[in-house]
Structure 1
């Protein structure tokens, strides 16, 4: 018998004692879908629009750069056979330099975008957690799960959290102690 099997066998009697009593006491269980909150809540949608507006100019610049590099490459491929070697080498260097610059700017863009998105998400998650806590305390939930394979709509409080975020109440109130 392995050590893991032995541990499970030793743990079973305790689990059987704990969980039935938990259920008999009428534990109130809830569930919240964080992905839906981040997709459907008005503050999350506003944050996404702010991020898009903030980064759209840089994104367009990157698209123009990519198009320019594509044209350079097509021109080089089309005219490579008729160009003198020195001219072809010069164009290949220009293309390589432009590609490196594009990759650098694209990497910086992604890093900045991810940092900004994480900053916005942190604020929304903080507000969502406060809303969950307030709802849990007000409705006397014993436990709120965030992930599950299956959830009955009866215990899903996601809509209540989204409504609280949309109303702006949790953002203004202090967390309960």
Structure 2
């Protein structure tokens, strides 16, 4: 019986020692504000310029339609008293056709622009994630969490500036 008590006490002490060591080996956790990194990157500002250039011809086409519509409205107001009823109807039909075409082209442009913006943004976010992994590895962090998921963290755990520096070549 005495031997059983000694064995139990020794087992309890060993298990306590094992748990104490694992509690001491805490994980190093960092945070990154992905949105702040994204907003401060020159590449993010370049996305808008790149897309404007990509869709320039389509934007100009829509502007041309709008200009033609304006010309038709001016003609209608200017020549209303001397136009025949059939000319008025023809002018109104052309205007309505242009308006329908304009709306379709605007909708298609908006959809394509949104899709391309998402593609470019996703690429940049993947680059930010890779830079975060590199910074975390370089600083021996076990876990990095987006700052939006954290209620409180010490300033020393924030890797946002380091990730931004890595992305801009500052590091």
Structure-1-length-normalised TM-score = 0.65
- Over 3 Å counting, the alpha-carbon distance change for 1:31 and 1:81 in structure 2 is farther
- Over 3 Å counting, the alpha-carbon distance change for 1:27 and 1:95 in structure 2 is same
Match of 1:144 in 2: 145
- Structure-1 separation of matches of 2:56 and 2:152: 38
Match of 2:169 in 1: 167
Gaps of 5+ in 1: 1-23, 170-177
Gaps of 5+ in 2: 1-23
- Over 3 Å counting, the alpha-carbon distance change for 1:46 and 1:93 in structure 2 is same
Match of 1:54 in 2: 54
User: How much does 1:84 deviate?
Assistant: 1.6
- Structure-2 separation of matches of 1:80 and 1:26: 83
- Structure-2 separation of matches of 1:54 and 1:30: 38
Match of 2:32 in 1: 32
Match of 1:70 in 2: 70
Match of 1:112 in 2: 112
